[in-house]
């Protein structure tokens, strides 16, 4: 018995040495990778052996079978300790190949070491009852059972983290029924593979589509924990900086980018990435990388601004990005109250839905004399303030007092004020309309002074200034401040020179 304990302690000492000697990063030798291949072969031995030992111990709890399996249990625990030690050592070499999630690998490693320790502790308590009676006193009789319980938990958790490394983080929940998924706080099976972004309209293509691919397939070897070839791919700054062989991508030219070259090499090539023993990119992931680089490799371009190729369009549609809501449609706005709609319509305005199943309205003044700044109209508009998106007060009696109310309609995108009495003073109230895209001021008395207020409208795309008091200098100043703004000042004809030739 003493000899078996001696060799078990020698095995534990060997494990400690290997934990200190085997590097966790760097480029491994072929022999190290060869040793690592034995981890999947050896790792199943301690799982089966230790679980059988625990089951036999449970059977021995029956009075009629007590002590019947003690010799076998002791032998199984001893073999379990040694097979666990070998599994951890071979696992250290396998981890050198890279391609694994750093956090999951760390937990798998920790739990494997704990299995060795709990198995050793269970063996010692089984071999020497009363081993720690001097220190633990009343707890000593329970320590063997506690060791077995912790051992079983350790085996389960080690296997769980190993499965996550091999088959992905969702291998246990992938086929879980929706009822259990709801209890566990997981999305429905129909939503697996779909991107659930909080605000897709303000998310970059890099953040939504490219960074997750690099994180899951590349960062374990090219991230904060390891930088093979001096390359990190976990942040835009490091990607642009490149590694020992220069930048991994050439913006606009995927076929010249080393990253794409390595990804598409045959699996048996020494230069193929990720390494053959690591989880590989899917065809869709590789195509996303290639499209992103060919499109300019922008880290800032937003999803709504991206121009998908037909293949990538199919991919993003499958990820739930077939309809990216932008502007006011990306907001969580409550539906309008039907009584408020009726009240506004009774004042001579047409109120209709902007689109089916949307909470927004288009409002048009039908009774031109009724659309003045009366308190009744002002209150009716304000009750529907979050829902009014298109407002047409053109050719009505609306003035600056009514425009002041429009400033409190936060989701207006189109505003018609043509041929009204609105002046520069009224335009000052519009500067807070952050979603305003279209503004018609044809036939009003606005001048260059009023145009200054329009420079503060972030989404303004179209402006109509025909027959106003604005000048060419004023519109040029506005155009310079907002280069992408379309300004229509009406038809401008150059004077025709009189014909001075004789008939």
| Beta-strand runs (E) in 403-483 | 414-416, 438-440, 462-464
C-alpha to C-alpha distance for 84 and 53, rounded to whole angstroms: 14
Q: Respond yes or no on whether the N-terminal peptide bond of residue 274 is cis (omega within 30° of 0).
A: yes
DSSP conformation class of 447: B
Secondary structure (DSSP) of 296-334: T--SS-BGGG----HHHHHHHHHTT-SS---GGGGS--P
Helix, strand, or coil (residue 48): helix
Band of residue 276 on the pLDDT scale cut at 50, 70, 90: confident
C-alpha to C-alpha distance for 212 and 204, rounded to whole angstroms: 12
Predicted confidence (pLDDT) per residue in 360-384, tens digit: 999 999 888 878 878 899 999 999 9
Predicted confidence (pLDDT) per residue in 407-425, tens digit: 999 999 999 999 999 999 9
Q: Select, from the ranges 200-214, 219-233, 293-307, 436-450, the one with the highest average predicted confidence (pLDDT).
A: 436-450
397 pLDDT above the threshold of 50: yes
36 closest CA partner among 100, 110, 117: 100
Q: Give percent of the chain with pLDDT exceeding 70.
A: 90
495 pLDDT above the threshold of 50: no
User: What's the pLDDT score for residue 493?
Assistant: 42
pTM above 0.75, yes or no: no
Q: What is the mean pLDDT of residues 112-135?
A: 82
Which residues sit opposite 392 in a β-bridge?
364, 416
C-alpha to C-alpha distance for 109 and 116, rounded to whole angstroms: 11
Predicted confidence (pLDDT) per residue in 200-228, tens digit: 778 899 998 999 899 888 887 888 877 88
């Amino acid at each position: 018995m003493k000899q078996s304990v001696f060799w078990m302690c020698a095995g534990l000492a060997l494990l400690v040495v290997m934990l200190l000697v085997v590097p966790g990063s760097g480029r491994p030798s072929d022999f190290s990778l060869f040793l690592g291949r034995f981890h999947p072969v050896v790792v199943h031995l301690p799982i089966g052996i230790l679980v059988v030992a625990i089951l036999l111990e449970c059977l021995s709890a029956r009075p009629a079978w007590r002590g019947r399996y003690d010799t076998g249990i002791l032998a199984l625990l001893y073999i379990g300790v040694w097979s666990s030690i070998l599994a951890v050592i071979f696992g250290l070499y396998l981890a050198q190949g890279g391609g694994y999630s750093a956090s999951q690998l760390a937990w798998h490693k920790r739990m494997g070491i704990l299995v060795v320790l709990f198995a050793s502790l269970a063996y010692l308590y089984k071999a020497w009852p009363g081993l720690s009676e001097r220190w633990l006193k009343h707890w000593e009789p329970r320590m063997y059972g506690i060791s077995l319980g912790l051992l079983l938990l350790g085996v389960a958790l080690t296997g769980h983290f190993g499965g996550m490394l091999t088959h992905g983080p969702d291998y246990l929940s992938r086929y879980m029924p929706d009822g259990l998924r709801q209890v566990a706080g997981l999305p429905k099976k129909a939503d697996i593979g779909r991107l659930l972004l909080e605000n897709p309209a303000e998310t970059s293509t890099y953040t939504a589509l490219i960074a997750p691919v690099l994180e899951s397939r590349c960062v374990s070897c090219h991230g904060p924990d390891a930088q093979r070839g001096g390359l990190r791919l976990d942040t835009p700054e490091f990607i642009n900086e490149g590694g020992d062989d220069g930048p991994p991508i050439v913006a606009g030219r995927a076929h010249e980018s080393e990253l794409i070259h390595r990804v598409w090499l045959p699996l048996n090539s020494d230069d193929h990435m990720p390494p053959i023993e690591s989880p590989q990119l899917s065809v869709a992931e590789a195509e996303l990388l290639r499209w992103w680089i060919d499109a300019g490799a922008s880290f800032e371009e937003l999803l709504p601004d991206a121009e998908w190729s037909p293949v990538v369009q199919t991919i993003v549609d499958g990820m739930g990005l077939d309809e990216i809501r932008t502007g006011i449609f990306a907001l969580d706005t409550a539906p309008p109250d039907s009584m408020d709609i009726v009240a506004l319509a009774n004042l001579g305005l047409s109120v209709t839905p902007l689109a089916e199943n949307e909470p927004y309205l288009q409002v048009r003044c039908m009774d031109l004399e009724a659309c003045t700044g009366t308190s009744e109209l002002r209150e009716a508009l304000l009750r529907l303030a979050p829902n009014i998106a298109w407002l047409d007060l053109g050719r009505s009696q609306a003035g600056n007092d009514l425009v002041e109310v429009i400033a409190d309609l936060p989701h207006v995108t189109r505003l018609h004020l043509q041929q009204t009495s609105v002046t520069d003073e009224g335009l000052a109230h519009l500067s807070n309309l952050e979603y305003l895209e279209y503004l018609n001021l044809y036939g009003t008395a606005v001048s260059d002074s009023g145009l200054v207020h329009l420079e503060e409208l972030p989404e303004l795309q179209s402006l109509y200034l025909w027959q106003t008091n604005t000048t060419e200098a004023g519109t040029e100043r506005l155009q310079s401040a907002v280069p992408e703004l379309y300004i229509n000042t009406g038809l401008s004809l150059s004077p025709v020179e009189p014909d001075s030739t004789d008939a």
